[in-house]
Amino acid sequence: MSRQTEFTKSINVVTTEMHTAGDPVRIAVSGYPDIIGDTILDKRRYVREHLDHLRRLLIQEPRGHKDMYGVIPVKSDIKEADMAVLFMDSEDYAFMCGHCTIALGKYAVDHGIVKGVSPETTVKIQCPCGLVTAHVEYQDGKSGTVRFESVPCFSFAADLIVNLEGYGDIHYDISFGGCFYAYTDITQFGLDIKSSPIADIITAAMKLKRAITETVTLAHPENNELAFLFGVMFYSGSLGNCSEEVCVYADGQVCRNPCGSGCCGLLAVLYHKGLIKEGEVKTFVNSKTQSSFNGKIVKQIKLKNTLAVIAEISGKAYYTGECTFFCEQDDPQPSFLVQ
């Protein structure tokens, strides 16, 4: 590129581009300054306080969009991990992302971070919520389907009710699947999970999220830094028979796939209510895109005094390209977010 000398040298980030069941994954493979911190949560705080301009540059328009998702590889602080990562979206830095984890499993094997072994290669990934184990199908030198085992997931509160102006009494559950989510039947809002405009679904989700944030105090048995409501997952009709859903997270972002961490939390809800058995496979389908993940409960565990489960989600990721992002010195709008 002949004009390279005109670009700001301090902002020059190379990425690998992927998608998992339709949801984007932008992995920053080089160009980030050193990320300081003894633990992964320290590193998350550091990028929020000192390097957030890079998140906005990579994730928000004009280089990204409101629903873009990104990954920053960092140095692990636990010996069991093969790699460690921070997740970023257009609002902030998430503690967990299931669809990124699926992509990272494939990426780690394909790029030699972990040597590929047939028929399946194990990749241990340190996420801000904890250590996640991915298992990557590997045949004839090629990676395939990835399944990951979650951090401990648990039902936090069941059968809650909140009155929302314009909608009336809304029944919902709260569960942790790496992040906290609320789960609710979309028909209570007068909406259809397939045909209602996504703008109306976002409006309902954000109204419920605000109401829960104002009225419910979340808690995590091991780390209350994780204790905030990340998203709302809608299903339709009976929870036990739900087959399609749509997830709205962060500041009104929408998943293109069924949402890996959201599905982990949903499995915990189903298990808590006796609606699914250990080892029973359930297929989750995004109602808008029809992309799917398979999920199941691997085992039941104790998380201090909380009954928890290890959930497993499986899906496929694909490469879409490689990019080098930079910013011209006189660019008046290096990033912005369309509201």
The residue-averaged pLDDT of 49-73 equals 95
pLDDT in the model for residue 250: 93
Residue 4 has pLDDT above 60, yes or no: no
Domain annotation covers residue 304: yes
Question: Is the same domain home to 143 and 162?
Answer: no
With contact defined as beta carbons under 8 Å apart, do 82 and 114 qualify? yes
- Answer yes or no: 97 catalytic: yes
Question: Is the same domain home to 136 and 263?
Answer: no
Question: Is the same domain home to 158 and 286?
Answer: yes
Q: Tell me the pLDDT tens digit for each residue of 147-179.
A: 999 999 999 999 999 999 999 999 999 999 999
Give dist(CA 116, CA 108) in Å, integer: 9
The domain of 81 spans 4-149+318-328
Give dist(CA 24, CA 228) in Å, integer: 24
3-state SS, residue 59:
helix
Residue 212, token pair as written in the block: 């829960």
pLDDT in the model for residue 333: 83
The residue-averaged pLDDT of 317-329 equals 93
Question: Is the same domain home to 95 and 218?
Answer: no
Catalytic residue, chosen from 97, 129, 247, 255, is: 97
User: Which range among 117-121, 276-280, 325-329 shows the weakest confidence by mean pLDDT?
Assistant: 325-329
pLDDT band at 230; cut points 50, 70, 90? very high
3-state SS, residue 168:
strand
Question: Is the same domain home to 52 and 123?
Answer: yes
Question: Is the same domain home to 119 and 187?
Answer: no
Domain annotation covers residue 334: no
Question: Is the same domain home to 48 and 71?
Answer: yes
pLDDT in the model for residue 10: 55
> How many percent of the chain have pLDDT more than 70?
96
User: Which range among 38-52, 159-173, 236-250 shows the weakest confidence by mean pLDDT?
Assistant: 236-250
Residue 338 has pLDDT above 80, yes or no: no
CATH number, residue 128: 3.10.310.10
The model carries a pTM of: 0.94
Question: Is the same domain home to 197 and 233?
Answer: yes
3-state SS, residue 198:
helix
